[in-house]
Structure 1
């Protein structure tokens, strides 16, 4: 069995109804258990811009958030959204958006546990995440090991190969090179060199670059989406109607689009939602544990804003751009669909798209490089860090030369496997999350 076939079959197996119910059910469960923590979003956004050192840690709360956003806002926000629409129709956008709204509670809960159960390493750095919560909170180190293994593997999918591959696919759409092979190797080599220049310096180097890059790339991309939506303003009412109706009834075949059942719509939206905002995946709390914060709740509030910006804002805008363009009816896939939607803005649209995707991809590779190395460190100690970083750089090149669908299928499957032990941890330790939230309620209300 070749890699493409294996990845496709594994993705279909992992992303069955049980995982969809577990993931979305956990979002709803934690929303209720935390008393709808989403209502404290304004306070969370206010705290997130603080650069003050409030406690022990490796980077500021703002630096931790920017690193998490760097890893979160990636190709899933652009190509991933288009892929969801191409597979499930416009209704998939609403399911993605709902995973973001309710996923805020899950992202908050992950960070609470990450900071509470973090440990200080021999070199003075902080380490945390679901593997430590599973080991120290549930006394289930074996499950922590499973999570860490899946994280090491998943990182190469969602955080590395899909990112590099998306850049190549978009360049192919715009450049239309004489030699596809040459483009892939050249683009992959350039990305690998740039990645090495930052990743080999560790979390402080990554955070420094992300603090500068993330705000610029996010604002620039949102402006580009806004311009496309202004041009497509007449089509927006129908776009909203297609998204709403398609989410609850499926999508009939139209134009080149082959149609999708309600299950396929929800599956496409929720799977891509997890890929995009990572709520429930267990990745973002790894860097949240490195934040200089005075208590778990304060950093958890900061972490929860990442899901808001990523999915509730950026993914929704991309979804509206793609659906309002009408190109999804032509049966286009992923990068080609996104490219067609932005090309409607003539010369300016492709510039915003290329800028957004290139910066999103690069920042995601940086952020996930840290996640993967911390998982490797948990499994094999500090001696594994440098070899992992080198392997990480080489994987950027490998992902650039692989078939696009195979890379995405592999990433989806690995994400699902990584999420399972983390979701178990969140449900079992929900009582701890509630207790910490009550103990530090002053940080929620802004009266601290």
Structure 2
């Protein structure tokens, strides 16, 4: 009976994350890219500059724009950047990295649109905090409360049973046991206490931790990747050429790699890219809505840099490290494959500990980021009086996660995660004219500022 149910869930999961959803996700990004005039290229330098400007005096919001971005990145930069990229290249070959880039490029426009809408339609809740995200622009902008409630339900389910808890907790406890010999019960207890200390303080506490850990862990991991690439600098042009060539030609079997068709490279690359940066899924807008800002479009620009950092930088670093060291052709897969790449490029010691430390930090911040996403979805459904109940359940699930190996729960969570995107994409498409109008007003203001300064 359980085997049959497992098979059914796997079939549904393949369907949810199959070509139809991926085409709609990427297609939405293509639409906004064209209608907004390649905004993610033309205004990326300005968006990066916005991260370090403080001109939001008197603006509504709970945290700074930078803190909101770090909170969103804490959820998106996770085990997928280490394990997911390895899985994608192992399945689709080096060409999968190219399609990951393409998904991220168009995903930046999608992320901009959804975070713009989150700020425009955000509210102040009964506790005086900002509340925003797809739930609110689906209800107040599109007038479809049932879609808003559906999205919120999926969001709570993913936070409780999927991305937010079990996979991340298992990644941390397993890594601590294998690399440092720490018993699972000990690491699970310490992790649960740390999570409780942070999330009981709400968004300001989560953002404070995220602004310290996210930049540190990203720079540490990127630095390790750059050391590998630097040690193999002469092979880098060939590695990049292999990625591009493999994106448009079948990849032959080599070593432990079984070979891949062009379609397999496209599907695995786009799916992993979307799963990593979450563009279009509707999660990042929840964090963006908490930002202190006067302008929805400005926060949209800040938010789109998250996809740039997550996929075009960190996933690229992982992918090129795997390709340039030849680890993608080995027998290993997932985290072991990435460890092998660092072991080949640096040393066996570095291979083990760079990946272990990266996994621990990445997974911990994902737990924090998704606790906030789930809390806002829960609050939308049940009101602010339910926050304490939500946090208690979340903490208990984190504590239990280390001892659960229920594959079906993870598959079900993967399904619900994909289903989050459906109501969100309906909202983006239905409110596309709002996005375009807000963007025009903001860009006209930027041009007026430039004219005055000149």
TM-score range, shorter chain: over 0.9
Separation (CA, whole Å) in 1 of partners of 2:338 and 2:402: 19
Moved more, 164-173 or 69-78: 164-173
Once the two structures are superposed, residues 104-130 of structure 1 have per-residue CA deviations (whole angstroms, 9 ceiling, x without a partner) of: 111110111001111111211110101
Deviation at 1:43, TM superposition (A): 0.6
Residue 140, structure 1, aligned to residue 144, structure 2: yes
Confirm or deny: 8 A CA contact 1:166 1:404 kept in the other structure. no
Aligned equivalents of 2:446, 2:56: Cα separation in 1 = 19
**Correspondence for 1:90:** 94
Q: In terms of mean alpha carbon deviation, does 304-313 or 353-362 score higher? A: 353-362
- Tell me if 1:158 matches 2:163: yes
Give, in angstroms, the shift of residue 412 of structure 1.
3.5
- Partner deviation per Cα, 1:268-308 (whole Å, 9 max, x = no partner): 11221122111111101101111110111111111111111
Q: 1:21, CA displacement in angstroms?
A: 0.8
Q: Equivalents in 1 of 2:354, 2:372: separation in Å?
A: 28
Q: Aligned runs of 1:13-162 on 2, under 5 Å?
A: 13-38=15-40, 39-54=42-57, 55-155=59-159, 156-162=161-167
| SS at structure 2 position matched to 1:158 | coil
* CA spacing shift, 1:320–1:172, aligned 2, 3 Å: farther
Aligned counterparts, 1:278-289, within 5 A: 278-289=278-289
Deviations 1:118-146 (A, max 9, x none): 11112111101011111111110101111
Do 2:127 and 2:384's aligned partners in 1 also have CA atoms closer than 8 Å?
no
Query: Residues 302 and 445 of structure 1: is their aligned pair in 2 closer, same or farther, counting only changes over 3 Å?
Result: farther
Shift of 1:72: 1.6
How many angstroms apart in 2 are the aligned matches of 1:6 and 1:287? 34
The offset of 1:402, in angstroms, is 4.2
Does the 8 A contact of 1:58 with 1:204 survive in 2? Answer: yes
- Please give the TM-score of this superposition, normalised by the length of structure 1: 0.92
For the 8 Å contact 1:166–1:335, the answer to whether it is kept is no
> Is structure 2 residue 329 aligned with structure 1 residue 329?
yes
Name the CA distance, whole Å, in 1 between partners of 2:410 and 2:236.
29
> Could you say if the C-alpha distance between residues 191 and 241 of structure 1 is closer, same or farther in structure 2, counting changes exceeding 3 Å?
same
Aligned residue in 1 for 2:438: 436
Deviation, 1:53, is: 3.7
Measure, in 1, the Cα distance between the counterparts of 2:227 and 2:195.
31
Unaligned runs of 5+ in 2: none
Residue 246 of structure 1, CA deviation: 2.3
1:342 aligns to what SS in structure 2? Answer: helix
Cα offset, 1:215, TM superposition:
1.4
CA contact (8 A) 1:48 1:62 kept: yes
Alignment CA distance shift 1:443-1:255 (3 Å): farther
- For the Cα contact (< 8 Å) 1:84–1:268, is it kept in 2? yes
The count of corresponding residues between Structure 1 and Structure 2 is 443
Q: Which residue of 2 aligns with 1:340?
A: 340
CA spacing shift, 1:79–1:216, aligned 2, 3 Å = same
For the residue of structure 1 that corresponds to 2:162, the secondary structure is helix
What's the CA shift for 1:407? 6.8
- 1:152–1:46 distance in 2 versus 1, CA, 3 Å: same
How many Å separate the matches in 2 of 1:51 and 1:18?
41
Could you say what secondary structure the match of 1:293 adopts? Answer: coil
Q: 1:355 aligns with which of 351, 354, 357?
A: 357
Counterpart of 1:222 in structure 2 is 222
Q: Which ranges of structure 1 fall in alignment gaps of 5 or more residues? A: none
- The corresponding residue for 1:208 is 208
Contact kept? 2:375, 2:390, Cα under 8 Å: yes
Q: Which residue, out of 379, 382, 385, partners 2:384?
A: 382
Distance 2:38 2:29 in 1: 11
Q: Compute the displacement of 1:50 (Å).
A: 2.9
